[in-house]
Amino acid sequence: MQSFQTLSNTLIRPLINPAQFDFWAQQFGSTRAWQRCFARVVAVTPEGRNTKTLTLKANSNWQGFVAGQHCNVTAVIGGRNISRSYSLSSDPADGRRLQITVRREFGGLMSEYLCNEVRVGERLELGAAFGDMVLPARTPAHLLLLVAGSGITPAMSMARTLARQGMSSPVTLLYWEKAAEDFNFTAELEAIAREHINFNLQLITTRRDNGNPLHGRVTDALLTQIPNIDSVDQAFTCGSAGFVDKVSNICSARGVALMSEAFTPPAQAAEQTELAEYDVYLRGRDQHLRVNNQISLLEQLESAGVAVPSGCRQGICNTCVCPRSAGTTTDIFSGVTDGEPGQQIRLCVSRAAGNLELNI
Amino acid sequence: MTNLKSRALSAEELAAFGSEIETLKQRELRDVGAVDARYIRRIVAAVRYTEVAGRGLLFLSFIPPFWLLGTLLLALSKILENMELGHNVMHGQYDFMNEPSLNGSTYEWDIVGTSDNWRASHNHMHHTYTNIKGMDDDVGYGLLRLFPEQRWSPMALFQTIYAAILALLFQWGVAIQELQLGKVAKGRKSWAEIREQLKPVMRKVNRQLIKDYLIFPLLAGPMFLSVLAGNFVANILRSLWTFMIIFCGHFTADAEVFPKSVLDNELPGHWYLRQLRGSSNLKGGKLFHILSGNLSHQIEHHLFPTVPARRYAAMSVQVQEICARYGQNYNSDYLHNQFGQVVWRIIRHSFPSSPKVLSA
């Protein structure tokens, strides 16, 4: 076996270049790839207002996920690979058939693309699933899900999973939207509620709406109207940062264990050229640094003792290039500020324009 | 470093010249996007299809014309991959795409030299210190005396022969360039260091040799020798072509070489001026430019190494206009003229020569 592996490493591997393999697979209309995980869009279905569900068929490199996790989805938009994280809304038991549910944000490059332009048959790329807000192995005595807006997507995956498993203990889903027409998955959620006596579904509008018994923002008073709320031993929440903040205050006052996930608002590009300090997180080294917005990142990393390969130090040789996983930087020469996650940047001609995460 | 065809610039003129070139670069970079992405993907497709067609025809080379056609197609594929794809991708010209297979810092090309060594000796040293004697190892590749400013030794008498060998085996020259074997001869480097540096090079060499001279010939069965010969000739053709294009880039009659002292108290804009004066262009049609990896626009490539090379032709019009206004020679001619000058340099400076002293 060992010798076979040596043989294949010396004889077979030189022949196969992953990029070549992927190229020919694509030419023959397949999503197969040597290492990368590509997925075909097999259906696009409208949900609530401005929201669509994309059903994807991933290639065999997909490693699976746990209900509640998300993954990076990459699409080619204007010649660039653009990545955003989306929660998977489908049941993990569906294998390589996955769903993401995308709400259109006006002016949002990726969500506009996925909601308006993506067509059945198109190829997207998926990253490995990640996220800690997942269903525990042992089902809680009474699980409470509090979600707002797009926060429904991980909860939907959980509800589908629990429904398939028979919903043996009480699960309460409190789902907020602005107005009645914004709700997603209503037909399926109501079907689960009809089938499973343990599933208590509450659709709540923040605005006063006719026909909806519950309305208003999340408060402790509102929670007291929910049946059996005092038996809850585990809560999950997902929504905007403000919503999650309120929920965590309420839960800690009630002494309920809570796992939460908040959407991070899109990083705002810093316009000012006044001195400002930001945090840089170096992912590979698991290290945080303070940097200012005046001097190149390369110089500041070096003076902090971080060894970065560098060459010309003037934006020519591409030696100090590294992926910026999050945050915005300004190009020193052009003054252009960019915040595309995963974009390769040259550290010697980049300045921080906000908190950053670099893949070093 | 003074050339009679270019006038000397004052410090103010130099700074203005540099900023005009920089402005041109920023304007072009703002326009980079989907068109460039589509272009490089088409180049990738051309590389892949010509390779498969070439190797396929070589497998069928019992029909005599197929051997010649297959060899030429394979050489074409290798030239395209080397020049328009590999070289330009490794400069980070397509990093804006965020596409892992076209990432400048990880791309591995199809020659015996490793991409990592190339990124160091070429992207960094050669592009930052272009034609500075003692800094840019490309000035004669530590082997040839091309400028009267280089010290003459009796070794140089036979350099026409070395040059011919280098032309035939150019990819091997590139592979060992970074090892700087000349330093060992002078006692400035130990064999132990060489052995260490040789490890990754040998891995790459093995990979290339096994692929072209073992696996593909074996796959061809009875056509073993015919495929082996075709691969050998294709590699030689690529070496000859790349040698010719690259030598025309910096060693024509009017190309200038600079002493290290230019780096002391370097004036703003001087880097741009050196790129212009140390480089020379080749005139030709669109296909010629693509096959040369647009290094036929060597001047533009040196001024704008991170701008996608397909844009050089259009940019050269503006560069020439700027050069005319500042009274700078724009060194451009057809391949036979430029290469004739290179050959003349190799022959002339194999004999003792001294720099021309300019009379005021």
Partners of A176 in the β-ladder = A148, A204
Could you tell me which chain A residue has the CA closest to the CA of B93?
A: A318
Tokens of A297: 């990142």
What is the mean pLDDT of the segment spanning B100-118? 91
How many Å apart are CA B331 and CA B352, to the nearest integer?
A: 26
pLDDT confidence of residue A209: 66
Name the interface residues of A facing B (CB cutoff 8 Å).
10-11, 13-15, 17-20, 22-24, 27, 36, 76, 78-83, 311-312, 314-319, 321, 333-334, 336, 340, 342-344, 346
Whether A97 contacts A165, CB under 8 Å? no
Best of A316, A320, A330, A344 to mutate (most B CBs within 10 Å, chain B): A316
Cα–Cα distance measured from residue B233 to residue B240, given in angstroms and rounded to the nearest whole number: 10
- The amino acid sitting at B80 is L
**Residues B241-250: pLDDT tens digits?**
999 999 999 9
Reported as a pLDDT band with limits 50, 70 and 90, residue A15 is low
Mean per-residue pLDDT over chain B, rounded = 92
- Closest A-chain CA to B301: A316
**Residue scoring higher pLDDT (A29 or A285):** A29
Percent of chain B residues past pLDDT 70, beyond the cut: 98
Residue A280, beta-bridge partner list: A289, A356
CA distance A77 to chain B (A): 8
Q: Over chain A, what is the mean pLDDT?
A: 89
- pLDDT 10s digits, A187-198: 999 999 999 999
Q: What is the mean predicted confidence (pLDDT) over A174-188?
A: 93
For residue B12, what pLDDT is reported?
94
The predicted pLDDT at position A100 comes to: 97
Residue B263 distance to chain A (closest CA, Å): 13
Min Cα distance B344 → chain A (Å) is 31
Structure token pair of residue A117 = 């332009």
Does ipTM come in above 0.95?
no
Q: How far is CA A113 from the centre of its chain?
A: 16
**Partner A, chain B 282-321, Cβ-Cβ below 8 Å:** 305-306
Which chain B residues have a beta carbon less than 8 Å from that of A15? 211, 215-216
- In tens, the pLDDT along A61-118 reads 999 999 999 998 999 999 999 888 899 999 999 999 999 999 998 888 899 999 999 9
What are the tens digits of pLDDT across the range A22-67? 999 999 999 999 999 999 999 999 999 999 999 999 999 999 999 9
Question: What's the pLDDT score for residue A3?
Answer: 67
**Is residue A154 scored above 60 in pLDDT?**
yes
Stretch (H or E) spanning A59: none
In the structure encoding, which two tokens stand for residue B267, read together? Answer: 């004036």
Dihedral Cα B47, B48, B51, B52, nearest 10 deg: -160
**Is the pLDDT assigned to residue A282 strictly greater than 60?**
yes
pLDDT above 50: residue A269: no
Q: How far is B76 from chain A (nearest CA, A)?
A: 17
Cβ–Cβ gap A10/B206 under 8 Å: yes
Return the pLDDT at A266.
Answer: 46
User: What chain A residue is nearest to B108 in terms of C-alpha separation?
Assistant: A17
Percentage with pLDDT > 70 across chain A: 92
The 10s digit of each residue's pLDDT in B251-307 is 999 999 999 999 998 888 999 999 999 999 999 999 999 999 999 999 999 999 999
- Residue B358 has a pLDDT of 56
Would you state the pLDDT for residue A12?
67
| Tens digits of residue pLDDT in B164-221 | 999 999 999 888 887 877 777 778 888 888 888 889 899 889 888 999 999 999 999 9
pLDDT of residue A5: 67
Q: What is residue A268's predicted lDDT score, i.e. its pLDDT?
A: 44
pLDDT > 80? residue B337: yes
Q: Which residue of B has its CA nearest to A76?
A: B97
Residue B101 near chain A (CB below 8 Å): yes
